[in-house]
Structure 1
Amino acid sequence: MTAPEMVLTERFQAAFAAAFGAEHADADPIIRPSQFADFQCNAAMGLAKRLGMKPRDIAARILEHVDLADVAETPQIAGPGFLNITLLPEWIAQQTAQVAADERMGMPSAEPRTVVLDYSAPNVAKEMHVGHLRTTVVGDALARTLELLGHRVIRQNHIGDWGTPFGMLIEHLLEVGEDSPEADQLRTDPNAFYQAARAKFDATDGSPDADGSDFASRARRRVATLQSGDAESLRIWTNLVALSKQYFHRIYDMLDVTLTDEHLAGESTYNDQLARTCEDLENAGIARMSDGALCVFPEGFTGRDEQPLPLIIRKSDGGYGYATTDLTAIRHRVQDLGADRIGYVVGTAQELHFQMVFATAREAGWLPESVQAEHVKIGSVLGEDGKILRTRSGSSLRLMALLEEAVGKARGVIDELRPDLPESERAAIAHDIGIGGVKYADLSTAHDSDYVFDLDRMLALTGNTAPYLQYAVARIRSIRRRAEAQDIALDPQAAPLVEGAAGRALALQLLQFGPTVQQVGEAFEPHRLCTYLFATAQAFTAFYDAAPILKEEDAAVRSGRAALAALTERVLVTGLECLGVNAPQQM
């Protein structure tokens, strides 16, 4: 089984070779959906320029050589040379039956690759805010999709668990006590703990005690003690990280994402390798000293003054920054993890940083040309005012509060519409709708674009939303329940019946599932899958309205329509699973 575009592309390229010579066999037929037929071949214009012929003459020559007898009606020439193609109903039915019989529903089995995905990356002892939503949700959708395609995915949660703030945090934890209620905030309200430590630091930073016993002085000393490997400092640091993990678990469980502790690979992971990274770059002549810091000046990057732009890998005080850690991580991911492809699901603001890191890693030989490294740029979540979504006080909006609000809003609707359902089921449905609505709204927007956070729109039953898709699935599942309740026979072995304009449109849509998932995996663009699933749900709605299932008296027709609906359910559910969105049994 193959998607129509792929079959048509192969047939037309064979025709190009036969009509114009083998050197033209690689020309793109430009197969696109058409409002006048199922598809259109738009290659005549481009070939006309190559061959110095009129486009309509090109189209006529193509028509003489293209073999579509088993696939489509004879194409019609339109306009300056477009070829309109109408697929044969029996070919569509045959391909749809093959997709239905295939466990993978037409998804290709690609050559497995090892893909390392760096996503989520919250900070220890800081609460995740709405800005972490997109990196987590987009990264997880890509991981699920790539695994479905057969790739080996290595998740890397590059948490911020090292550096200067930890001296401050350790000293604060020692003061309040590791078993105190304040310490418990690391699990429940990390920002409160962090802000309390910061307040102590700021209050004493400008006026240190003569003997250095003030909080700020102790915090600075603690950083050096920690980085030198002091056992007690490392023990307390380990406790800080462990408490924060419990908080991360709550968020990830709430979001239904696949990240676990085994995927944690924070900044501390690479601490003992940073000096070697600097030494190797310096010895290779790639890094040099500039104003007391060790820097790399990758080719092609200049500042506003037109001078080469530095990537600092060792600060003038001897400390290391993000660039050092990211370069070390790349070397590890390629050499130790065996990455064929690396995706960094990180905010758009880091674009220049990653371009310079990738360029440096390639020059050093740590990122060979055979390995793809991509910055999956993440846009911002905005409020109704078009600015970064924040609380009224101007602080970052807590992610947990936002998720709880979404579930609470969904629960209110479910309680009103379905009071007949058990409380536990209403709670589960509310979670699926609330969290699914938030995730889908994020994923349905191109990941490098900003979008406005609007809960009412996210949870609407109309439009390109998760609830609309979830309702389509629930509607299909209700067909089976009602058939059983009314003792209406449905042949489970029946092939999907493709009939009428609505059935034809739905079948053609279902044939696009495999190629769409493949495209999402190749381009790292989950929004393409959302667009596809929405169009599929719309096509099913039109089919369901035009071709009643349980009211149909002909048993064969009834079972054939039910089989087409069942395939639609499988496609929608699998597609939503790729996005990390659950489809409740009923709504």
Structure 2
Amino acid sequence: MADAPEDNTGSLKEQLAKVFEVSIKVTVPDESQVVPIIAPCSKKESGDYQCNNAMSLWSKIKGKGTEFKGPQPVGQAIMRNLPASDMIESCSVAGPGFINVKLSTQWIAKSIQKMLIDGIDTWAPKLPVKRAVVDFSSPNIAKEMHVGHLRSTIIGDTLARMLEYSKVDVLRRNHVGDWGTQFGMLIEFLFEKFPDGEVNDQDIGELEVFYKASKQRFDGDKEFKETAQQAVVRLQGGEEKYRKAWAQICEISRRGFEQVYRRLGVHLEEKGESFYNPYIPGTLDLLRQKGLIKNEAQAIKFKEGQVIKIEGAKVEKNKEDLVIKIERGQVITIEGAKVIKNEGAKVVKIEGARVIKTEEGEVIKNEKGEVIKNEEGKVIKVEEGQVIKIEGAQVIETEGGQVIEIEGAQVIEIEGKDIPLIVVKKDGGYNYASTDLAALWYRLNEEKAEWIIYLTDVGQREHFEMFFAAAKLAGWLPTDKNKYPKTSHVGFGLVLGDDKKRFRTRSTEVVKLVDLLDEAKRRCKEALEERGKAAQWTPEELEQTSEAIGYGAVKYADLKNNRLTNYTFNFDQMLNDKGNTAVYLLYAHARICSIIRKSGKDIEELKREGQLKLERDEERKLGLHLLQFPEAVKEACTNLLPNVLCEYLYDLSEKFTSFYSECQVVGSAEERSRLLLCEATAVVMRKCFYLLGITPVYKI
């Protein structure tokens, strides 16, 4: 019989998998590349873990002249062939070959004590990737960070921390919105207010107020709007005066962002839209060379004698005020089986049509002035002889039967999508897709990233699906989603108020992130003062603890939820010291630290000379859960779900509470051993807090 592998690193599941891999190779030597299926036992009385390969192996080998008569004999053979291992105390086979494993209690204790000596980082999981980019936070220049940036910032930071802990080189990227047409508006307004060019931060005042004032001017003054549009051209052309003004606006915003990041303990490297802008032309050329970028054309066929008018950008209502808007890729059919394909998200207007029939025979009667949107890809039929105006091209009038093709935007067609991915707008300008493609090319080729992770709200999911699909068409990414390099969109839901609508102030303004953090700290400080801590602690301790609990409560209230769901922001709930809250968890950690302090024992000496024993059931349950920490981190990393780690942390706190209520620590015969178990729990809790971006507190 082969010996068990000597490598005892990795999670419990991974270590057990190495042991079972040896046995499976002996049991079914002709079956190659069998991956052991290890999972926690569903019934705890059966064991700690189980191997579930017997049934799948039986389905492969039956009919091949095997000696086995069913899945249970396969399971029995795998169990018999297990190599000797210190980690396994006993095994049993149940049902159709499930192999239940009870781990050695002595081995659990030794593993925990070894971690206390070698450090928690020796428990870090291993991931099959060396370098990752995490693209998160990404606020817009000239606008303050608000509650909408909260989820991207703290979820992204937690994912980056977990990947870093797992020995991945993480490039934290802040893809700020620092380029685009809005800067012409801001710069021109700046010049108008300060014609001599001498301006400082105080002159501009609150940047968001400045932004709103410039936007109001832009929307209400045609001449100012034209000048602002020219300013964009000058900025993009590199004129010194405009670049200097742009840089100043960006710097003011950047300092505001940094104040928020400092309070949240978040570190990012800014590489905004302006950084990737020079790479866009070359990136698009690469895609053109592969034949992926096409000119979006509108093929128009019509019956002889009909008149098709294709108007310019000017929008004109017809005499009946009947407007029909259709989405890109939908088809308008004129009576007589002649087809108009509108593939440019243009506005189609029909003069004089009273009845529109959809492909399903549904009749929609238009009243004067009614806007009808057809967003389901249905065919709209109109009466013969009507005039159809398509916005967005030069005026063409034809009365023959020929086909007219009008050049539109430049696009990449994505299989399975009704609309293409626009990479160059009709006016020749770039958009999010062109910037994202250039950024992806840079991250893959210049930064050598193997995993690029994007954090935005779930509403942008389709954009990322199409953008990733385009990258696969270009050959930048493998079509197999399990292979690297790969991209992932980490979508998240909305932050809601108690009314279940977007979280806003009473005046319906978006809640500023700095105000939210101030309020969290204020409430925590008041609660601590009510408990008499102002008299017991120094002012600095009170401030630091208020920040740790307040900011931690805000983070944990978000992170404990599945990121795909919306969640309700409620200060009273998140600052509750009972239940699954950061306050409860921080208090639990502080209580453990207090137990160790009150014992008067030197915990470092205990680590070296003491011996951890898990003799009571509650001790063993807590010890086993501690050893499952690497599994929780790996699952959270692999699935990009921070709530998995939150669930682990809360369960750890609950198991410690059960242990402490059943097992006396200080003054007991088992004091030295149980203090080591307390210390191990505190060490794992602190690492969980660190990965979640929460500062632990040591006394309450």
Structure 2 residue matching 1:121: 3-state secondary structure: coil
Q: Distance in 2 between matches of 1:367 and 1:109?
A: 23
Q: Distance in 2 between matches of 1:507 and 1:316?
A: 63
Q: Distance in 2 between matches of 1:345 and 1:326?
A: 13
> What residue in structure 1 maps to residue 294 of structure 2?
288
Q: Distance in 2 between matches of 1:237 and 1:245?
A: 12
Q: Distance in 2 between matches of 1:43 and 1:386?
A: 46
Q: Does 1:216 align with 2:232?
A: no
Q: Does 1:496 align with 2:612?
A: yes
Q: Could you tell me whether the CA contact under 8 Å between 1:12 and 1:29 is conserved in 2? A: no
Q: 1:334 to 1:73 in 2, by over 3 A?
A: closer
Tell me which amino acid in the other structure corresponds to 1:497: K
Tell me which amino acid in the other structure corresponds to 1:75: C
Tell me which amino acid in the other structure corresponds to 1:7: Q
1:566 to 676, 679, 683: 679
Displacement after TM superposition at 1:258 (Å): 1.6
Displacement after TM superposition at 1:96 (Å): 2.0
Q: Could you tell me whether the CA contact under 8 Å between 1:74 and 1:85 is conserved in 2? A: yes
| Structure ranking higher in helix proportion | 1
Q: Distance in 1 between matches of 2:57 and 2:252?
A: 64
Q: Distance in 2 between matches of 1:339 and 1:102?
A: 31
Q: Which deviates more from structure 2 when the two are superposed, residues 132-141 or residues 192-201?
A: 192-201
Displacement after TM superposition at 1:28 (Å): 3.6
Q: Could you tell me whether the CA contact under 8 Å between 2:16 and 2:38 is conserved in 1? A: no
CA offsets, 1:158-203, max 9 Å, x none?
00011111111112222334337451312xxx2x222111112222
> What residue in structure 2 maps to residue 211 of structure 1?
none
> What residue in structure 1 maps to residue 115 of structure 2?
99
CA RMSD in angstroms, aligned pairs only: 2.5
Displacement after TM superposition at 1:151 (Å): 1.6
Tell me which amino acid in the other structure corresponds to 2:290: A
Q: Gaps spanning 5+ residues in structure 2: where?
A: 1-7, 63-68, 298-406
Displacement after TM superposition at 1:40 (Å): 3.3
Q: Which deviates more from structure 2 when the two are superposed, residues 33-42 or residues 140-149?
A: 33-42
> What residue in structure 2 maps to residue 413 of structure 1?
527
Structure 2 residue matching 1:337: 3-state secondary structure: coil
1:451-490 correspondence to structure 2 within 5 Å: 451-484=567-600
| Structure ranking higher in strand proportion | 2
Structure 1 residue matching 2:509: 3-state secondary structure: coil
1:249 to 237, 244, 258: 258
2:148 to 131, 138, 141: 131
CA offsets, 1:60-91, max 9 Å, x none?
34443334664334323444544433222222
Q: Could you tell me whether the CA contact under 8 Å between 2:493 and 2:564 is conserved in 1? A: yes
Q: Distance in 1 between matches of 2:33 and 2:279?
A: 51
Tell me which amino acid in the other structure corresponds to 1:398: K
How high is the sequence identity, in percent, across the aligned residues? 35
1:229-244 correspondence to structure 2 within 5 Å: 229-244=238-253
2:104 to 84, 88, 94: 88
Bigger Rg, which one: 2
> What residue in structure 1 maps to residue 44 of structure 2?
35
> What residue in structure 2 maps to residue 306 of structure 1?
none
Q: Distance in 1 between matches of 2:20 and 2:249?
A: 63
Displacement after TM superposition at 1:489 (Å): 11
Q: Distance in 2 between matches of 1:345 and 1:549?
A: 45
> What residue in structure 2 maps to residue 448 of structure 1?
564
CA offsets, 1:528-552, max 9 Å, x none?
1111111112112222222222222
Q: Which deviates more from structure 2 when the two are superposed, residues 289-298 or residues 240-249?
A: 289-298
Number of aligned positions between the proteins: 563
Q: Could you tell me whether the CA contact under 8 Å between 1:105 and 1:514 is conserved in 2? A: no
> What residue in structure 2 maps to residue 586 of structure 1?
699
Report the TM-score when normalising by structure 2: 0.76
Q: Could you tell me whether the CA contact under 8 Å between 2:151 and 2:492 is conserved in 1? A: yes
CA offsets, 1:406-443, max 9 Å, x none?
12221121111223222221111111111111111211
1:9 to 17, 23, 30: 17
Q: Could you tell me whether the CA contact under 8 Å between 1:13 and 1:25 is conserved in 2? A: no
Q: 1:489 to 1:237 in 2, by over 3 A?
A: closer
1:382 to 496, 500, 503: 496
Q: Could you tell me whether the CA contact under 8 Å between 1:122 and 1:160 is conserved in 2? A: yes
Structure 1 residue matching 2:294: 3-state secondary structure: strand
Structure 1 residue matching 2:416: 3-state secondary structure: coil
Q: 1:488 to 1:162 in 2, by over 3 A?
A: closer
2:512 to 364, 382, 398: 398
Q: Distance in 2 between matches of 1:95 and 1:14?
A: 22
Q: Distance in 1 between matches of 2:604 and 2:517?
A: 43
Displacement after TM superposition at 1:313 (Å): 1.3
Q: Distance in 1 between matches of 2:127 and 2:427?
A: 49
Tell me which amino acid in the other structure corresponds to 1:574: K
